[in-house]
Structure 1
Amino acid sequence: MRHALTPNRWLAPAELFLSSFIALIILGSLGLKFLPGIYQGEPLNWTDAIFTSTSAVCVTGLIVVDTATYFTLRGQALILLLIQLGGLGMLILTSVIITALGRKISLNLESVTADSRKLIPQVSARLLITNILKFTFLIEAAGAFFLYCMWVPRLGWKGAAWPAVFHSVSAFCNAGFSTNSNSLINYQDSPGTLLVISVLIILGGLGFVTMQELNLRFAQRQQSLPRIKRLSVHSQLVLWTSFILILGGWLLFAGFEWNGLLAEMSLSDKLTNSLFLSVTPRTAGFNSIDYEQATDSTNLLTMILMMIGGSPSSTAGGLKTTTFALLGLLAWSKLRSQTTTTFASRSIPDETIQRGTGLFVISTSVVVTGVFLMSSIGDFHGYEQRFLVRLFETISAFNTVGLSMGLTDSLSLPSRWVLIFLMFAGRTGPLVIASALIVRLAHRSKFRLAYEDVIVG
């Protein structure tokens, strides 16, 4: 029998989730302050150390100092360790919370098809963590290998090794940190580099649940496992939404910048750079162009993609693809006067729609508050105070993207603390809020007040 959810059952994993990120940020800040041999010059002050640690642990990528020139190899290794632990922590702890809420991650076919309730047992917590670690390190190792092979002609046999490892981990964890001062702008003319980084970002943003389900479908062809007739609605929604966002963004970015920032590039470079522009905002943070020089249309589309982000149980931030898709499906169902929201011949539970709507409202409110605070504080040390720039920076911080229009290192001390809060809230808040909403909806009172309508529109 399935046990009812209680606040205590939710509180323990939620506290674990929050406290683990806080502890890691504190340890990272102390390391950045006191470990020897990690700086080329003077150590960071406390605010900048906390900012850098938060950005790394929350896999955001916003920087107040140049990672390439300010840190030694040892310092870059510390940042990469924080990125890896932050990315893995998100994957593992997300699964722990889902498990604690009674929605266990399983390899059995009842999570994949609606008419099977047996065949393969549920995965234990130990096996779940083992699978996540294997999944992560295998993809990162493959990415590092391909990047190394492509960068050897530019950087040499020894010089290509560390950048390849750093960028592979940073890309899969959707962190956006780079050992290059201008991120990947120097690789505009390297389609292979941009494609490998794009694949790593996409795999990191699909989510472990979807990747595990795809792996199960592949395994059935190699072993004597029962045939799976269909992917779960969750995975179908993730894959279709991701595909549409990437393809749509690719076409739109190409149209916006074909005769702009991409004008001097070859045809292949135009195509790969416009594809990269579509992939990196969700929510990796690498850039192959200067967003300060991009059109307003490009920057607006980038902000929309940053808000959407990746998929649940992934290293990416944002509202998540499923939330965005459910809101679109809800609007479509209302336009057709349908009583339920449907997808792939299945009805989506009303509680799920309510959680998605709640997440959208809360996340939008936080972003608006952040922009208001950034605008009120001002004092960007002479930087042109365009509203679009402040909005871009705020959305990038809250959705843990890391893209910037060059504002970050010009921020005043109070503004940096606003971004620190936004990065932490954007990384931990949506999942904790969603968990809380599950508990609240599961414990709704049997009684309700009388209905009374209001006029809308």
Structure 2
Amino acid sequence: MSLPSSSQPSTRSVAPWRQDPQHDGSLWSTFWRALSPSQLFVGSFLLMIAAGTVGFKVLPGLYTGPPLNWLDALFTATSAICVTGLIVVDTATYFTTWGQAYVLLLIQLGGLGIIAFTSLIIVVLGRRMSLRQETLTSGAAGIVEEIDYRELTWAIFRFTVLAELLGAVLLYVCWGPQLGWTGAVWPSVFHSISAFCNAGFSTFSTSLMGFQSNLPLLMVVMALIVVGGLGFLTLEELYVWRRVYREKERFRLSVHSQLVLGTTVLLIVGGWVAFTAFEWDSTLAGMSWGERLVNGLFASITPRTAGFNSIDYAQMETETSVLTLIYMMIGGSPGSTAGGVKTTTFAILGLLAWSRLHGKPTTSISGRTLPESTVQKAMSLFIVAISIVALGIFVFSTTEIPHTMPAADAPFLSYVFEAVSAFNTVGLSMGATGALTEAGRITTILLMFIGRVGTLTFVAAMAREPKRIAGGFRYAHEDVAIG
């Protein structure tokens, strides 16, 4: 690509996302160009949540009884679109089949993201994506150069449909003998989509606690959760690697995918051992050895934003609750339906600590050095995430826990659990969600929304465009003591 010459109008002062050749001078087009990718992404989720909330109020046949009030409709729409799974009403009994289908539609829209749907429509219409649209859909550009990012959108939809269809068939086979071949159809479809999108919504009042002994069922749900939480970029790269491997050609997985896969395996195996050991004689008591092992594995996988539970989290041991909090904060991987600070952030912070302890000035892995900007971004994301969760816990402590209650009797842990679960879009709860006050529900809505769109994206959308200072002016350095 040639640089602009003196005879060509320069576009250096125009942000890449504002270079839209389809700009027609209309008010809408001007507004479109004025938004940054972060603002458009956050705005798209706001619009989906608003539309979902209105749908709960105006669509007929959604409820078995009285309709949701506006706040609970907003809460449910946010939880579904942000694929969280926290509920203020029982999905299994409060909604009709049509109501559950509407919730499932919101889950699917939120899991894939409105930007992916917009990109698909553009491709279907046969229009070439503008530079602005490519900026929105190709945030991972430069990580894996072998992947065509305009084809990635198609791959996302193809893989999603196939994965959810296969999951529904397998769940139907597992549930058929237990629920009846007719009665198993809808739960199979619902849970396949909910599991792949890491949403955690269930058509059963006790989630999957009633199926602790149905080990094939739990295995299918776990597989859907893991695949949905790996991230579409990693899945596409694995597909390319498999195709190249069959053709006897060389292909190197990117550092991104190496971190995602390595961290995911480490968390699953480590958590499996820990959860099973901690709960062996507690919530897993009374089960056979095989059931204990599979349910322990399920407890290791589901906290990383899936939200399903096969054990009662209100009855867990304290050490299990703490480990669950850590897993919820880590979450899934970038570009997936999962929340959390992401596996790559966790891995980068670990590599950073390892490098500094060994006196290395850079952070590296697999023969590659990570850019300092990426390391700084990971640190910023973690700090902002912890700060937001801490603020949410503080709000809960002032609005939800009665001040007249003795400190020893206050259910503080349950509200810590609630804040971490909401922000990291997990959906697990110790039973506090339904009893939240209006202030608590609004706080939870904000936590779910910020956690879904991403802390750095949310901050970037709220921030003003930085002013350019001529001459690269900066203040003089002055150090401070730390540690």
Compute the TM-score of the two structures, normalised by the length of structure 2.
Answer: 0.85
Matched, 1:450 2:476: yes
Distance 1:428 1:296, change over 3 A: same
Q: Which moved more, 1:7-16 or 1:274-283?
A: 7-16
Matched, 1:429 2:437: no
User: What corresponds to 2:259 in structure 1?
Assistant: 237
Q: CA deviation at 1:449?
A: 3.3
User: What corresponds to 2:363 in structure 1?
Assistant: 341
Matched, 1:387 2:409: no
User: What corresponds to 1:9 in structure 2?
Assistant: 17
Gaps of 5+ in 1: none
Q: Secondary structure of the residue that 2:175 maps to in structure 1?
A: helix
User: What corresponds to 2:7 in structure 1?
Assistant: none
Matched, 1:323 2:358: no
Q: CA deviation at 1:14?
A: 1.9
User: What corresponds to 2:227 in structure 1?
Assistant: 203
Distance 1:412 1:436, change over 3 A: closer
Counterpart Cα distance in 2 of 1:163 and 1:236: 35
User: What corresponds to 1:169 in structure 2?
Assistant: 193
Counterpart Cα distance in 2 of 1:103 and 1:88: 14
Q: Residues 173-322 of structure 1 correspond to what in structure 2 (within 5 A)?
A: 173-222=197-246, 224=247, 227-322=249-344
For residue 350 of structure 1, the aligned residue among 324, 347, 372 is 372
Pick the structure with greater CA Rg.
2
> Structure 1, residues 64-100: CA drift from partner, whole Å, max 9, x if none?
0000011000000000000000001178389999941
Q: CA deviation at 1:32?
A: 1.0
Q: Secondary structure of the residue that 1:299 maps to in structure 2?
A: helix
Q: CA deviation at 1:37?
A: 1.0
User: What corresponds to 2:168 in structure 1?
Assistant: 144
For residue 418 of structure 1, the aligned residue among 443, 466, 472 is 443
| 8 Å contact from structure 1 (residues 208, 313) kept in 2 | yes
> Structure 1, residues 310-361: CA drift from partner, whole Å, max 9, x if none?
0000000000000111111111111011010011111000000011111011
Q: CA deviation at 1:123?
A: 3.7
Counterpart Cα distance in 2 of 1:261 and 1:431: 38
User: What corresponds to 1:398 in structure 2?
Assistant: 423
User: What corresponds to 2:154 in structure 1?
Assistant: 130
Distance 1:373 1:19, change over 3 A: same
User: What corresponds to 2:397 in structure 1?
Assistant: 375
Q: Which moved more, 1:298-307 or 1:82-91?
A: 82-91
Counterpart Cα distance in 2 of 1:238 and 1:269: 28
Aligned length: 444
Counterpart Cα distance in 2 of 1:89 and 1:102: 10
| 8 Å contact from structure 1 (residues 60, 176) kept in 2 | yes
Distance 1:156 1:380, change over 3 A: farther
Q: Secondary structure of the residue that 1:307 maps to in structure 2?
A: helix
Counterpart Cα distance in 2 of 1:34 and 1:393: 30
Q: CA deviation at 1:23?
A: 1.3
Q: CA deviation at 1:298?
A: 0.6
Counterpart Cα distance in 1 of 2:366 and 2:400: 48
> Structure 1, residues 39-82: CA drift from partner, whole Å, max 9, x if none?
11111111101000000000000000000011000000000000
Gaps of 5+ in 2: 4-10, 19-34, 120-130
For residue 332 of structure 1, the aligned residue among 351, 354, 361 is 354
Q: CA deviation at 1:430?
A: 2.7
Q: CA deviation at 1:450?
A: 3.1
Distance 1:6 1:185, change over 3 A: farther
> Structure 1, residues 262-314: CA drift from partner, whole Å, max 9, x if none?
12111111111010001001111000111110001111110100000000000
Structure 1 counterpart of 2:481, which letter?
I
Q: Which moved more, 1:17-26 or 1:397-406?
A: 17-26
Counterpart Cα distance in 1 of 2:371 and 2:382: 17
> Structure 1, residues 369-415: CA drift from partner, whole Å, max 9, x if none?
00001111125799963111110000000110000000000111111
Counterpart Cα distance in 2 of 1:5 and 1:260: 63
Counterpart Cα distance in 2 of 1:312 and 1:420: 22
Compute the TM-score of the two structures, normalised by the length of structure 1.
Answer: 0.90
Counterpart Cα distance in 2 of 1:189 and 1:5: 62
Counterpart Cα distance in 2 of 1:105 and 1:453: 35
Distance 1:286 1:91, change over 3 A: farther
> Structure 1, residues 214-262: CA drift from partner, whole Å, max 9, x if none?
000112245x5x7233210000000001111111111110110111111
Distance 1:138 1:101, change over 3 A: closer
Counterpart Cα distance in 1 of 2:13 and 2:255: 23
Q: Residues 52-67 of structure 1 correspond to what in structure 2 (within 5 A)?
A: 52-67=76-91
| 8 Å contact from structure 1 (residues 132, 208) kept in 2 | yes
